[in-house]
Chain A
């Protein structure tokens, strides 16, 4: 009867200690976000902490701030186009890397993943110099090409991860049952690797939407994206409108992740 009590665990001091450690780590990661969140409701004249009072005026100010609205429009157009292009290029590239053996395979693989390793400031400088004679500076095409270059590694990575766990005999089975290559891709391969493709697409969208360095170099004067506008705004004025904008951006990113997680199971794809 008292058997269960015999094994009652003693108090283990490691447990609360671990809890505190995790809490501190989260605090460390999230503190800047929390401060931005608090500051966006602060009535202080200038960007500062702690708040002197509470107000919604920074949020009310946002719709009238045309630089932000224009920047938002540019960033959205760019991010949507980048997501589309990067999926169209990245998924077939990942398929080729996974399924075929060819001579330059290792070279192609490192070429596609190299933008992750090169400092983006170096990449951005190179692009400005390259885009000059091509007349791509200050154009959508220029920004989009730049963003595709830095986001394609993510799509290839996540897609390769999904491909690595798929059973290639599923594709063989479908072909034997009469499906041509395109049907196999559309009805078998793509649905199976869908989680990786979607994860790659979401990451590409967020990275592009958030990207500042390449956008600043390539299109600062002609076609400023939202991050560029935010930088400029902070340079010139020091009120909390930027904090309010940041909160809205965080909420948008969060909403995208939550919706995708709910609909497709993003966590499954990334882990």
Chain B
């Protein structure tokens, strides 16, 4: 049985009267032990949300509850949280051990216990041997681990991570990703993680809150937000996506997880299959197809009875993969193929595109500005 650890209700932040709210009536529930990523472009309100949960910023309206207790107006130093900042924010005048011990000192933990817990926290991040070092002698990755140890040593009610990987180089970022995730799972610390990097969110999070314009566009598991995006924004922000406009026809039967198969008519290119939530028949919806699920053939009839013909605009070869841009009428569709030793498609050739119904998802909300 899982328990709700953090519950946010109608949380709103308006920096000044008359301005658009930075966070607009946001609702979210986070389960105990989960790592939740707040993902979105800059200015979407993710950092503002995190700072309100931390208590570094006062909400304009709404409430924040932790373990069923309202903490909306609890002072920041009484919330018992742990936070890792983008800049790590290590205290420059203290050595590594003193940094990690700071939170325990504030809690007046007995000296002997402080020592044990600091040592354990440093061992956890594999830096037990650097306790006496000055923080500025450490590399970015090491500073990051110290910041994590400092936040976790107090056994925080919530662990808050504000873009903790964005100051690291690409290689190190991947290592730290899995390391943070494994430490988080071992300590079972309920964690809020702010990031603008969708790969990070997909890789690390139990749940992702995709944010845009102060709102959560979708809150779900990584596979849900990738496979079943609720909005155009989510489909476009998480991974790459092709969008087509589809007139939804007959419901042709039950698909897994309560969805339905539909016959659809794509921009007059013919009849195709797609999946979507029940009850879409008769309206117009956006169809989302990931580039690597678009089948490409240089010969008609190979990819399926129905296909869309287009002209190859550009081929980008990266060794194991091939990105192909195909112009179909007004649109340019992106397809991604694995390379083989045979002939590669070339720009200017005609390509035939198709897909299987399971790989084409109809967005639940009717497409705007299009005839019903």
Interface residues of A (CB under 8 A from B): 167, 169-170, 172-180, 183, 187-188, 191-192, 194
Contacts and interface: CB of A to CB of B under 8 A. Distances in A.
A207 to B, nearest CB: 28
B103 interface: yes
A194 B89 CA distance: 18
Contacts, number: 62
Contacts of A175: 56, 76-77
A172 B89 contact: yes
B293 to A, nearest CB: 42
B107 interface: yes
A170 B76 CA distance: 14
Contact of B89 (A170, A178, A180, A187): A170
Contacts of A173: 83, 85, 89, 91, 150
Given A173-B85, A183-B106, A178 B154 contact: yes
A187 B55 CA distance: 20
B98 to A, nearest CB: 10
Contacts of A176: 54-56, 76-77, 79, 81-83, 160
Contact of B87 (A167, A180, A192, A194): A167
B92 interface: yes
Contacts of A180: 77
28 contacts: A167-B87, A167-B89, A169-B86, A169-B87, A170-B91, A170-B92, A172-B89, A173-B85, A174-B91, A175-B76, A176-B56, A176-B77, A176-B81, A176-B82, A176-B83, A177-B77, A177-B102, A177-B103, A177-B150, A178-B77, A178-B78, A178-B80, A178-B103, A178-B107, A178-B154, A179-B106, A191-B93, A194-B93
A22 B103 CA distance: 53
Interface of B: 54-56, 76-83, 85-87, 89-93, 102-103, 106-107, 150, 154, 160
A133 to B, nearest CB: 46
Contacts of B160: 176
A175 B86 CA distance: 16
B131 to A, nearest CB: 18
B93 A192 contact: yes
B247 to A, nearest CB: 52
Contacts of B76: 172, 175-176
Contacts of A169: 85-87, 89
Contact of A192 (B77, B92, B102): B92
A188 B93 CA distance: 8
Contacts of A187: 102
Contacts of B93: 191-192, 194
Contacts of B77: 175-180
B33 to A, nearest CB: 21
A178 B107 CA distance: 7
**Most-contacted residue by chain B among A172, A176, A179, A180 (CB, 10 A):** A176
Contacts of B81: 176
A189 to B, nearest CB: 10
A170 B93 CA distance: 11
A40 B80 CA distance: 66
Given A175-B56, A179-B106, 7 more contacts: A169-B85, A170-B90, A173-B89, A176-B79, A177-B77, A177-B106, A188-B91
A178 B85 contact: no
A172 B91 contact: no
Most interface-central of A177, A188, A194 (chain B CB within 10 A): A177
B248 to A, nearest CB: 50
A198 to B, nearest CB: 14
